[in-house]
Amino acid sequence: MRLIIVSGLSGSGKTVALHALEDEGFYCIDNLHLGLLSPFVTQLLTPRLKLYDAAAVGIDARSGVEELRRFDSIVREIRDQGVELEIIYLQAEVDTLLKRFSETRRKHPLSRKGLPLIEAIHLERSLLSEIAAHADLTIDTTHSNVHQLTAQIRERVGRDHTGALSLQFQSFGFKHGVPTDSDFVFDVRCLPNPHWEPRLRSQTGLDPAVREYLEAHPMVENMYDDLRRFLENWIPRFEAENRNYLSVSIGCTGGQHRSVYLVQRLGEHLRANRGASVTIRHRELE
């Protein structure tokens, strides 16, 4: 049986992620107390109740300090039963969370006793640190809307699970912040910048004219070859350690030209060799 634990900061999209998994055929329960997780799994594994081979549960900070401290032992106990367990942790920048709560007028689950919202967010982050440390996949939703997060969940952790390493290539702009959910971050701001060519400024690294401009510079090809060799050498090492997810982020100044070109080219190259387990995302173009 496959079980996914969805956790993270309130307002970061846990319910959206669970809805996406439910649409993919998972049996989903939101806000399950951590102390009830093992009995829940035992029930699912009971032969007469084996109606589901994939389930997902939402776990939040309301499980309490003592139960959250036991998270590691609870996870080991479940895996010892032969369950294929994955942990997804969602987070977002504090300013983004404050804005989301302000717009929806919802109360933070830890602020109901008079705790100021920003203190509740920091307390929740501290309480969930044990889960965050064990996460197989961390997703930063600061720059994502509901539809983008839904698509990302379906692409990376949907029902069509083959057990292969899920590899994401993501372009971004440093001026908009470095993605915090990256395993590797590469800075390509040293490469020639199409932004300074007036005819290319409004285009992106997906457009033929920008690609031709970049490919005319030998250092761009050198960067591509170095990154390709590095990834082809080290990705199998992560697979050997039974990693489920790997995120590679490539950044330039604005996330429009150089990073987009390299992410698209590297992603397509790896996808040709690895198939559907490779996803490509251009954060600033979304």
Q: How confident is the model at residue 49 (pLDDT cuts 50, 70, 90)?
A: low
pLDDT value, residue 50? 64
Residues 6+ positions from 171 with CB-CB distance below 8 Å: 205, 249, 250, 251, 252, 255, 259, 260, 262, 263, 264, 281, 282, 283, 284, 285
Structure-block tokens of residue 54: 């994939």
Tens digit of pLDDT for each residue in 241-259?
A: 888 899 999 999 999 999 9
pLDDT value, residue 187? 98
Instruction: Give the distance, in angstroms, between the CA of residue 68 and the centroid of all CA atoms in the same chain.
Output: 22
pLDDT value, residue 277? 84
Residue ranges of domains in the chain, CATH in brackets: 2-157 (3.40.50.300), 166-285 (no CATH)
pLDDT value, residue 21? 96
pLDDT value, residue 52? 78
Please state at what angle helix 94-104 crosses helix 117-127, rounded to 10 degrees. 120
Residue 221 has pLDDT above 90, yes or no: yes
Tens digit of pLDDT for each residue in 70-113?
A: 999 999 999 999 999 999 999 999 999 999 998 887 889 888 77
Q: Which of 102, 140, 137, 113 is nearest to 9 (CA)?
A: 140
User: What is the edge-to-edge ordering of all strands in the sheet holding 166-173?
Assistant: 184-187, 245-252, 166-173, 278-282
Question: How crowded is residue 243: how many other Cβ atoms within 10 Å of its Cβ?
Answer: 16
Structure-block tokens of residue 88: 């997804």
How far, in Å, CA of 204 to CA of 187, rounded?
Answer: 17
pLDDT value, residue 161? 59
Structure-block tokens of residue 113: 């006793």
Residue 159 has pLDDT above 60, yes or no: no
Residue 160 has pLDDT above 60, yes or no: no
Tens digit of pLDDT for each residue in 101-127?
A: 988 878 898 887 778 999 999 999 999
11-25, 37-51, 144-158, 235-249: range with highest mean pLDDT? 11-25
**Amino acid, res. 144:** S
Percent of the chain having pLDDT more than 90?
Answer: 79
Task: Please give the angle made by the CA atoms of 226, 228 and 231, to the nearest 5 degrees.
Answer: 105
pLDDT value, residue 64? 87
Average pLDDT, the chain: 92
Q: 28: phi > 0 → left, psi -120 to 50 → alpha, else beta; which?
A: beta
Please state at what angle helix 218-240 crosses helix 208-215, rounded to 10 degrees. 100
Q: Which of 37, 33, 28 is nearest to 74 (CA)?
A: 37
Q: Which of 142, 147, 136, 130 is nearest to 2 (CA)?
A: 136
Residues 6+ positions from 90 with CB-CB distance below 8 Å: 6, 7, 8, 9, 12, 13, 14, 17, 138, 139, 141
Question: How crowded is residue 208: how many other Cβ atoms within 10 Å of its Cβ?
Answer: 8
Secondary structure (3-state) at 152: helix
Tens digit of pLDDT for each residue in 25-44?
A: 999 999 999 999 999 999 88
Tens digit of pLDDT for each residue in 191-201?
A: 999 999 999 99
